[in-house]
Amino acid sequence: MRKVIVNSTPIIALSKAGCLHLLKELYDQISIPTAVKEEVTRKNDSVKAELESSDWIYVEPVTDSASKSMYKAKLHDGEVEVMILAQEHEGDHLVIIDDGPARRTADYLGLTLTGTIGVLIKAKGKGLIDAVMPVLAKMEKQGIYFSNDLKARVKRVAGE
């Protein structure tokens, strides 16, 4: 079975927009490494509550913590552990990461990759949401930043 491993930013962004359920609807269950859980639950907020009450998000520790030192130069612990977790299990797993340097590293490692916006576009394609742009607007109201160039590309790709 294909494992879906998610970093903290997509969880936070989707939760703040009231759309974390899309991960369950699209992928049935997801895995997060310990560092992502720690980052997401650091604040006592609605994101923490939603994560802790879910029965479809599984926390998995990485087994090769020594590998973390290879990535430390430009990446956060959660991003590093997402990539290590994907590499520790055989198969073509999906990693969901938004940060540019982390995405480039995941791509270099040959990992199958998408981001929060990719999740939203897939959700629209499956009829789970009517449009992507209103969800991005909700995220922006919650402090998630998207450049105008990115929003224009999303609008074009999503056909909105």
Confidence label for 70 from pLDDT (cuts 50, 70 and 90):
low
Total residues belonging to the chain: 160
pLDDT at site 112: 93
Number of H helices, E strands in the chain: 9, 5
Phi-psi category of residue 121: left, alpha or beta, with phi > 0 → left and psi -120 to 50 → alpha: alpha
Q: What is the pTM of this model?
A: 0.89
Q: Taking the domains of the chain in order of start, what are their residue ranges?
A: 4-158
pLDDT at site 51: 86
CATH number of 4-158: 3.40.50.1010
Token pair 């909700």 in the structure block, residue: 138
Round the average pLDDT of the chain to a whole number and report it: 89
- Mean pLDDT in residue range 126-136: 96
Q: Are 132 and 160 in contact (CB under 8 A)?
A: yes
* 83 vs 7: CA distance, rounded Å: 9
Spatial neighbors of 146 by CB under 8 A, at least 6 apart, are 136, 139, 140, 154
Q: DSSP 3-state assignment of 146?
A: coil
* 44 vs 81: CA distance, rounded Å: 23
* 4 vs 115: CA distance, rounded Å: 12
